[in-house]
Structure 1
């Protein structure tokens, strides 16, 4: 108790900086959240999920106006956020420990024991621009379900939907300070937040360089990192080629490729290479760019002109090394055309560096062993996909370091109940509602001597 009082006094003694203010409010809310029964935490989550549906168009418009999505993509994200909070409400009631059989050893006879799941404490969350509502929900929802106060630092370009979510939670009775949003740059505000001694757990979604910096700042504390990587998709000769092409193109250009599950490499069996490439080029050419508020627009722009220029630079590097441009490749301001490139040498940046834009590498392989060898040589990824009619071929991919293997769907297939993440350097720990709640909880053992 003395330590907690001292910590609060130290924070109060500092100037009223943004970090000091939100930390103090979170510390004030911590005992309230700890003492809130599971059914009431579930009620906050359930009621706010319903409020999201009631405000879906306003939330979608904010997502479009601040970020990179079309109105159709934004509406889909709002519906996912609704579902994610509903899942959190369900899991809030199921975050239980286990009974320990003490009589498994002689001196344990006459004793019973169990574990309770206790909230880990104040959670600091850093979120990106590409899913500015649902990825906030994926951190806030589990924290509330676990009984933890949470402070979110959204991407500086897209804070609006996070602030709208905060207003909905407050409208539905969540205690003051239990969820807060602080704006500012990651290098300044984000670093101060993560390094603060009152923060007991850090959860981050974003790029590799920033994620590694967060890991250093959070050293010694529980940390969940999702840092992306290069996701690949394999098309076998026995695949349903039309289905494969349709789903791969969707995974290439959703959110203009600004997706940690973006299909960046497509490896196609030599026997069907020409057929699949023809279909991919044709479907890519049908992607409609334009006003993101138009119902007819398929793909929006990148988050900034600098991001578009970075994509142009990565593509230029590949073309300069002898790659073949199949379609696209033009940049205009923040806009970048859907782009396919083949014959890319392994020394090109795009072969191993996450592009985070609408560019995909097409590769030919001969035999599954060759495909596996190429994928094994790459860094770990969040997801790997394969299109095949075989029940056994996908098991050959298990040796590849990836967080998930998706069969007959694109790498960007995801439901919000799934465990989500990848092995280092793609990530650390796992997200997804149930996994996140567990990571924001810690077991406390109770032992009762009946003798």
Structure 2
């Protein structure tokens, strides 16, 4: 894959800053140089916090924040092809998936603009008690303060949008640390923010050592909230280190799907085949564990496997590619090791498990032991498991048999079954007759158990990023 090499400075206090040190961004597909980004550290992060704190001394009215967010959404629309190519180049995301990500980022900004205009407190019914007689009270939603945001590589535009747009809607300035593998999308978004009229200091982007940047975000008391998307080990450690800050975590999953015998089996197979392997399975809600009622098992397998094998593996810049590379060779080796462990311990390799050049083919393993990593941990690769079950009780127990709880799905025509699954599946979200990889950016999105402790989606994130203040008036 060939692309023009891009050099970017850090974005600090409205300026592009070079540090004299450079971080190379290379394509996971062919290791070609995509760009260079100025490498920052603790000093640049402190400068970013200074700028953010200073910016918030002159609050932006809600209508101005909304107007800026709308302008960014419009700019994403006008430069959609360019944005998709940046994503595809640095993350090796297939172009068809990269284009979807750009459209979703536009939606995220649009929804955040709505929240900026409508964010409000409420009236407290003071005369409901004798003590409140003769008084009026309202609550205000006020910005929590400077937001420290840490985003992952797999959605380098839209997950950055989910940090920046709600924070700006809430009236909070941001210090963003994007993934070092994929910083160009975040810096592209910073360019759009500046062009949209965002004043200096309201958005600052620092790329570099996670430890150096993270230490400043944790230790500086002016950073009042940290929003983190990434691995559980890192996320929960951040929360332990910052007990006096609000720390919102959106972490991983080992996503289960239940397919009842009464379901539209062909539709379920089509959706699972698409959503288990999109972007090589590198989504925290990528379909990973598929449980099919025994009466429908062979029919599902017959519909599912040919669709998996028909997925096109190759260059992410090719508009027809479905599955590209994993983010690194180390990750590819890890996923292959998990597959080998599952097969060695009794699982059946139904398809895949081999390389097409340097790329791992979409892989399906039947009935691996429940304690193998592939069956209970987050694979984050182009692999899923397939297993029959007899009763719904058994299926729900299998789905819940993980430390994760982000999203799960069920395919059924029975309303009673769907509602039971919604009540008993221990996940932050449950989809019915849709793969649990589905996400609309305005919906509340977040997990339970080891999958996190917050809800994203602008309407929910904005409230996380504000505090409620009571005002009582003696009439």
TM over 0.5: yes
Match of 1:24 among 41, 50, 55: 50
Deviations 1:313-355 (A, max 9, x none): 1111111111100000113675211000002111211111101
Match of 2:461 among 421, 436, 439: 436
Deviations 1:95-134 (A, max 9, x none): 1100001111112111000001000000001100110000
Structure 1 position 367, deviation (Å): 1.3
Q: List structure 1 segments (4+ residues) > 3 angstroms apart after TM superposition.
A: 331-334
Q: What are the ranges of 5 or more consecutive residues in structure 1 without an aligned counterpart?
A: 1-14
Q: What's the counterpart of residue 138 of structure 1?
A: 162
> 1:290-369 counterparts in 2 under 5 A?
290-331=314-355, 335-369=359-393
Distance 1:183 1:332, change over 3 A: farther
Q: Distance in 2 between matches of 1:340 and 1:377?
A: 20
Q: What's the counterpart of residue 432 of structure 2?
A: 407
Structure 1 position 186, deviation (Å): 1.9
Q: Determine if contact 2:313/2:356 at 8 Å carries over to the other structure.
A: no
Q: Determine if contact 2:224/2:246 at 8 Å carries over to the other structure.
A: yes
Q: What's the counterpart of residue 5 of structure 2?
A: none
Match of 1:63 among 80, 87, 98: 87
Matched, 1:418 2:443: yes
The 10-residue stretch of structure 1 (153-162 or 325-334) with the greater mean CA deviation from structure 2: 325-334
Q: Distance in 2 between matches of 1:187 and 1:303?
A: 21
Q: Distance in 1 between matches of 2:305 and 2:215?
A: 43
Q: Distance in 2 between matches of 1:215 and 1:412?
A: 26
Match of 1:105 among 125, 129, 132: 129
Q: Distance in 1 between matches of 2:205 and 2:285?
A: 26
Structure 1 position 178, deviation (Å): 0.2
Q: What's the counterpart of residue 84 of structure 1?
A: 108
TM-score, normalised to structure 2, is 0.89
Q: Determine if contact 2:412/2:432 at 8 Å carries over to the other structure.
A: yes
Q: Counterpart of 1:113 in 2: which secondary structure?
A: strand
Q: Distance in 1 between matches of 2:113 and 2:357?
A: 42
Structure 1 position 399, deviation (Å): 2.1
Q: What are the ranges of 5 or more consecutive residues in structure 2 without an aligned counterpart?
A: 1-40
Q: Counterpart of 2:449 in 1: which secondary structure?
A: coil
> 1:32-71 counterparts in 2 under 5 A?
32=58, 35-71=59-95
Distance 1:421 1:333, change over 3 A: farther
Q: What's the counterpart of residue 174 of structure 2?
A: 150
Q: Counterpart of 1:422 in 2: which secondary structure?
A: coil
Q: Distance in 2 between matches of 1:270 and 1:302?
A: 33
TM-score, normalised to structure 1, is 0.94
Q: Determine if contact 1:191/1:217 at 8 Å carries over to the other structure.
A: no
Structure 1 position 184, deviation (Å): 1.0
Q: What's the counterpart of residue 8 of structure 1?
A: none
Q: Distance in 2 between matches of 1:45 and 1:271?
A: 51
RMSD: 1.3
The 10-residue stretch of structure 1 (127-136 or 208-217) with the greater mean CA deviation from structure 2: 208-217
Q: Distance in 2 between matches of 1:76 and 1:210?
A: 28
Structure 1 position 396, deviation (Å): 2.0
Q: Determine if contact 1:292/1:300 at 8 Å carries over to the other structure.
A: yes
Q: Counterpart of 1:417 in 2: which secondary structure?
A: coil
Q: Distance in 1 between matches of 2:317 and 2:311?
A: 16
Structure 1 position 175, deviation (Å): 1.0
> 1:151-300 counterparts in 2 under 5 A?
151-300=175-324
Q: Determine if contact 2:52/2:201 at 8 Å carries over to the other structure.
A: yes
Aligned residues: 434
Deviations 1:218-267 (A, max 9, x none): 22211110111211000000101111111111110111100011111000
Distance 1:31 1:333, change over 3 A: farther
